[in-house]
């Protein structure tokens, strides 16, 4: 049972709102357009969650291999660097979960066509390349772009497409807003780990451009995510989508706390608040679209 608890810890279930939120939004738009499929939503959700867990396992293993997980780490403990899980076991688990995600994703082909293989394979590839491969994204200031593209644009628009076989500028706009809002979780992580990443030469965007850049990026994401529900409301001719702006308003209140945050506890509290806001963003925006 103790070993099982380690795997639950490595899966980092607190990060799952990042994979759930875009699927909810894409599915809600499809429902609003009268083209919803419960099977398409289920497979999209399972694919996204498994990709997230597989990425978390891969990060645990690959950060250990690169030596970026040091004893001075402020974030949640990593199981491999702590000696609680063997590196080979974590690598095998990561590959197994990512393979499972790919197999689940194959079920979406009958909804959206064989070209979805490109999205599925690229999602799996970049899940590993986020911290692995010859040019790891997280180590070359591309982590934010990865999150915005795959957790935002690809996830929202891809989910909408398997329901409707369509795209639109409004879906892409919502994808960007969702990706930026989810990326706030990465911003907080990178601000927390700034000094450690600097020492280990992990060139996140915060390391390259400084902590002030992270605060500005967080603020931009909040305003963008606030604007998307307003545009949705105008497009739908209904006030209901406006409830999706509440989480962004809450996060705007946290900006001063982010500027002044020092130490593990302060960043951990901000992560919890922002993670809850991301989940609420998916739920409330989806509810507003469904009722519009």
CA distance 228 to 3: 43
Q: For residue 226, what are the contacts with CB-CB under 8 A and spacing of at least 6? A: 245, 248, 249, 252
Flag whether 108 is in a domain.
Answer: yes
pLDDT at position 209 is 94
Tens digits of residue pLDDT in 219-249: 999 999 999 999 999 999 999 999 999 999 9
pLDDT at position 13 is 87
Q: Note whether 205 and 177 are within 8 A (CB).
A: no
CA distance 181 to 277: 9
Residue 72 pLDDT exceeds 70: no
Q: pLDDT band for 9, please (50, 70, 90 cuts).
A: confident
CA distance 129 to 58: 9
pLDDT at position 275 is 92
Q: pLDDT band for 2, please (50, 70, 90 cuts).
A: low
Flag whether 240 is in a domain.
Answer: yes
Lookup result for tokens 């949705």: 232
Flag whether 12 is in a domain.
Answer: no
Flag whether 42 is in a domain.
Answer: yes
pLDDT at position 132 is 82
Q: pLDDT band for 215, please (50, 70, 90 cuts).
A: very high
CA distance 50 to 45: 9
CA distance 12 to 57: 9
Domain residue limits at 284: 27-291
pLDDT at position 162 is 96
Share above pLDDT 90 across residues of the chain, in percent, rounded to a whole number:
67
Flag whether 190 is in a domain.
Answer: yes
Which range has the worst mean pLDDT, 48-52, 73-77, 84-88, 151-155? Answer: 73-77
- Rounded to an integer, the average pLDDT of 6-29 is 92
Q: Note whether 88 and 16 are within 8 A (CB).
A: no
Flag whether 250 is in a domain.
Answer: yes
Q: pLDDT band for 74, please (50, 70, 90 cuts).
A: low
Local structure of 67: helix, strand or coil: coil
Based on the structure, what is the number of domains in the chain?
1
- Rounded to an integer, the average pLDDT of 268-290 is 94
pLDDT at position 195 is 87
CA distance 238 to 233: 5
Flag whether 172 is in a domain.
Answer: yes
Flag whether 9 is in a domain.
Answer: no
pLDDT at position 68 is 63
Of 81 and 99, the one with more pLDDT = 99
pLDDT at position 81 is 82
pLDDT at position 19 is 94
pLDDT at position 70 is 59
Average pLDDT, rounded, for the chain = 90
pLDDT at position 93 is 93
Lookup result for tokens 């509440």: 246
């Amino acid at each position: 049972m103790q070993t099982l608890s380690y795997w639950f810890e490595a899966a980092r279930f607190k990060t799952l709102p990042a994979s759930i939120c875009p699927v909810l939004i894409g599915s809600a738009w499809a429902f609003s357009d009268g083209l919803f499929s419960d099977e398409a939503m289920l497979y999209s959700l399972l694919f996204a969650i498994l990709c997230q867990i597989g990425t978390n396992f891969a990060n645990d293993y690959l950060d250990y291999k690169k030596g970026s997980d040091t004893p001075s780490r402020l974030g949640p403990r990593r199981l491999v660097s702590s000696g609680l899980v063997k590196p080979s076991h974590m690598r095998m688990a990561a590959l197994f979960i990512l393979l499972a995600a790919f197999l689940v994703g194959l079920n979406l082909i009958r909804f959206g066509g064989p070209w979805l293989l490109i999205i599925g394979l690229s999602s799996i590839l970049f899940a590993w390349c986020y911290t692995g491969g010859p040019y790891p994204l997280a180590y070359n200031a591309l982590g934010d772009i990865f999150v915005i593209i795959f957790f935002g644009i690809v996830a929202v628009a891809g989910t909408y497409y398997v329901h409707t076989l369509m795209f639109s500028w409004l879906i892409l706009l919502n994808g960007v807003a969702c990706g930026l809002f989810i990326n706030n979780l990465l911003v907080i992580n990178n601000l927390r780990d700034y000094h450690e990443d600097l020492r280990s030469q992990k060139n996140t965007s915060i390391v390259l451009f400084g902590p002030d850049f992270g605060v500005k990026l967080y603020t931009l994401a909040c305003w963008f995510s606030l604007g998307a529900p307003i545009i949705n409301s105008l497009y739908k001719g209904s006030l209901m989508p406006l409830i999706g702006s509440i989480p962004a308003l809450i996060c705007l209140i946290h900006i001063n706390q982010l500027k002044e945050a020092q130490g593990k506890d302060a960043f951990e509290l901000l992560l919890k608040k922002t993670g809850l806001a991301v989940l609420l963003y998916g739920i409330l925006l989806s509810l507003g679209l469904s009722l519009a």
